[in-house]
């Protein structure tokens, strides 16, 4: 747990709140570039929410450099954002630390009330927030609207959980003693989030942290900083005190040094990261030097198993939902479809028909669109590599298989059959709209294939055999299992993985524990 003594001699400036309707100017002695008020983004986006500067200690602060943010669907520039570096990161940590010294003492009821106000503002602005997500990530607008509701619900959930942080009284052998267990906030939490859920991945972490009494510094993904900054605007309007919620956007060029600065700063007590396993290992290494608490939600390689006893139509519906949400760009997307031999041909045929009938590729703002672009050119190249590798090793393209004519970052929803375990798509997370189908014969074979991965975030299977359901659910080496269900995320349920898919859990009643630590108090002389 952080103490509040280290900064008493620190020259960090005391920051005041930014009124929601105007821009706060930096101190006269602070050598920063002029502040830009709002992005000029495309028509239809709320200028009141489309902020471009960092948010530190209740102030909108610029940086010496900026970086552009592009619409992945068209390539158009949405705006330029402050490119915060190590100095800005350290200033944000200091602001968060100073705020923690008072925020930790705010009553749970008051923290609950402020989180609820933030939730209410998200609901009031849900349409504008969804449009920002679609503009910067390409996600279809209906999915973006769903994300905003999901995101807001984390604030609502943890506003309620804030008042349910209970300790314990333990009986001891000595009559003159009493033993107590207190739960106390850790301190400053550094929150590093991905681009695929630019709003929900923030509130799932920040809601828990603030409810527990921690303060946060958020580093959003360089592809999608506008959602994090819009949340800052609404947090400010909700009355979240200065320094409790800070945002430092930065370019890909500066991401490594900013991440290292956050993970090694002695004033940071907690690191929470969602992203690739490779990056997570680097951050864990940095955090280890000062033995920080960490939460890691890392890569997945989810199996989707269809047994002979399954209802094929239900399995196909589940596969569609699990695979193609956000164009296959979610960490819990099914990545390997294992289908038992007796039902294989029927499943592949119906899956192909569903893909051709129900999926429509296009700009996320178009009403008919169900499949938006991939986030950038590198993502498209990875999908192409996986498909070409599979074809070269004997896979059959049932449908799709190439870039879509709509634009450079679009790829056709693809179904591959005759897939084998030596193909890249069987060994690595594709993170795109590709569904590779592997035929298997026995339950033991399917479970062995599913568990062969060194990651274990989510897994799915379809079966009507109760005994098999219990066996497979218990044997799958994953943190979350969907049984006859393709969508499993819920604010009320714990989200997280095993093996190299991460550490800790988010959401649910367990999520707040990631930002608390236990203190044993022995009360003697009674």
- Catalytically active residues are 297, 331
The beta strands (E) that lie in 197-330 are given as 215-219, 245-247, 268-274, 293-297, 302-306
User: For residues 278 and 320, what is the distance between their CA atoms, to the nearest angstrom?
Assistant: 28
Buried b / exposed e over 450-460, threshold 16 CB at 10 Å, is beebebbbbbb
- CB-based contact 486:289 (threshold 8 Å): no
Half-sphere exposure for 154 (CA within 13 Å, toward CB):
27
Maximum Cα–Cα distance across the chain: 79
User: For residues 367 and 410, what is the distance between their CA atoms, to the nearest angstrom?
Assistant: 17
User: For residues 410 and 373, what is the distance between their CA atoms, to the nearest angstrom?
Assistant: 5
Instruction: Collect contacts of 419-426 with beta carbons under 8 A, ≥24 apart.
Output: 419/390, 419/395, 420/393, 420/394, 420/395, 421/449, 421/452, 422/393, 423/386, 423/389, 423/390, 423/393, 423/395, 424/385, 424/386, 424/389, 424/390, 425/335, 425/336, 425/386, 425/387, 425/389, 425/390, 426/336
Nearest alpha carbon to residue 39 among 74, 72, 68, 75: 68
Strand 480-483 and strand 458-462: the pairing is: parallel
Nearest alpha carbon to residue 150 among 522, 495, 517: 495
Angle in degrees, CA 225, 18, 224, rounded to 5:
5
- CB-based contact 340:308 (threshold 8 Å): yes
User: For residues 488 and 507, what is the distance between their CA atoms, to the nearest angstrom?
Assistant: 13
- CB-based contact 236:17 (threshold 8 Å): yes
Range list of H helices, 46-140: 86-103, 108-124, 126-137
- CB-based contact 252:84 (threshold 8 Å): no
């Amino acid at each position: 747990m952080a103490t509040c003594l280290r900064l008493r001699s620190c020259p960090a400036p005391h920051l005041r709140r930014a009124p929601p309707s105007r821009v706060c100017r930096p101190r006269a002695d602070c050598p920063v570039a002029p502040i830009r008020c709002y992005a000029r983004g495309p028509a239809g986006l709320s200028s009141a929410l489309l902020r471009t500067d960092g948010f530190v200690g209740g102030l909108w602060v610029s940086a010496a450099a900026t970086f552009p943010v592009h619409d992945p669907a068209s390539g158009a520039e949405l705006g330029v954002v402050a490119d915060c570096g190590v100095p800005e990161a350290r200033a944000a940590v200091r602001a968060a630390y100073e705020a923690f010294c008072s925020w930790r003492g705010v009553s749970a009821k008051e923290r609950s009330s402020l989180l609820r106000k933030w939730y209410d503002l998200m609901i009031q602005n849900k349409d504008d927030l969804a449009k920002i997500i679609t503009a910067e990530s390409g996600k279809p607008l209906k999915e973006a609207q769903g994300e905003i509701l999901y995101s807001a619900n984390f604030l609502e959930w943890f506003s309620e959980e804030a008042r349910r942080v209970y300790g314990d009284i333990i009986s001891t052998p000595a009559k003159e003693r009493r033993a107590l267990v207190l739960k106390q906030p850790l301190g400053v939490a550094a929150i590093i989030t991905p681009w695929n859920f630019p709003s929900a991945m923030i509130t799932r972490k920040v809601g828990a942290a603030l409810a527990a009494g921690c303060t946060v510094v958020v580093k959003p993904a360089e592809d999608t900083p506008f959602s994090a900054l819009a949340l800052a605007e609404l947090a400010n309007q909700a009355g979240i005190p200065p320094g409790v919620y800070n945002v430092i956007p930065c370019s890909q060029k500066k991401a490594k040094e900013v991440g290292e600065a956050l993970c090694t700063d002695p004033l940071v007590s907690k690191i929470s990261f969602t992203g690739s396993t490779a990056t997570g290992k680097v951050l864990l290494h940095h955090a280890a030097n000062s033995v920080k608490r960490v939460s890691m939600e890392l890569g997945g390689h989810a199996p989707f198993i269809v047994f002979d006893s399954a209802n094929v139509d239900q399995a196909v519906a589940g596969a569609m939902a699990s695979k193609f949400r956000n164009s296959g760009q979610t960490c819990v997307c099914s990545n390997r479809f294992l289908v038992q031999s007796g039902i294989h041909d029927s499943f592949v045929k119906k899956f192909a028909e569903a893909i051709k009938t129900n999926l429509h590729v296009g700009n996320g703002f178009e009403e008919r669109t169900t499949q938006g672009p991939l986030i950038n050119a590198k993502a498209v190249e990875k999908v192409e590599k996986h498909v070409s590798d599979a074809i070269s090793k004997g896979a059959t393209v049932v449908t799709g298989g190439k870039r879509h004519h709509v634009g450079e970052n679009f790829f056709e929803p693809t179904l591959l059959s005759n897939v084998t375990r030596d193909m890249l798509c069987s060994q690595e997370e594709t993170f795109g709209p590709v569904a590779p189908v592997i035929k298997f014969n026995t339950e033991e074979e399917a479970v062995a294939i599913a568990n062969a991965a060194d990651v274990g975030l989510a897994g799915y299977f379809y079966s009507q055999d109760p005994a098999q359901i219990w066996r497979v659910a218990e044997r799958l080496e994953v943190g979350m299992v969907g049984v006859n269900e393709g969508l499993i995320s819920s604010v009320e349920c714990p989200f997280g993985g095993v093996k190299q898919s991460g550490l800790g859990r988010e959401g649910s009643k367990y999520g707040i524990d990631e930002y608390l630590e236990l203190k044993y108090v022995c009360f003697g002389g009674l």
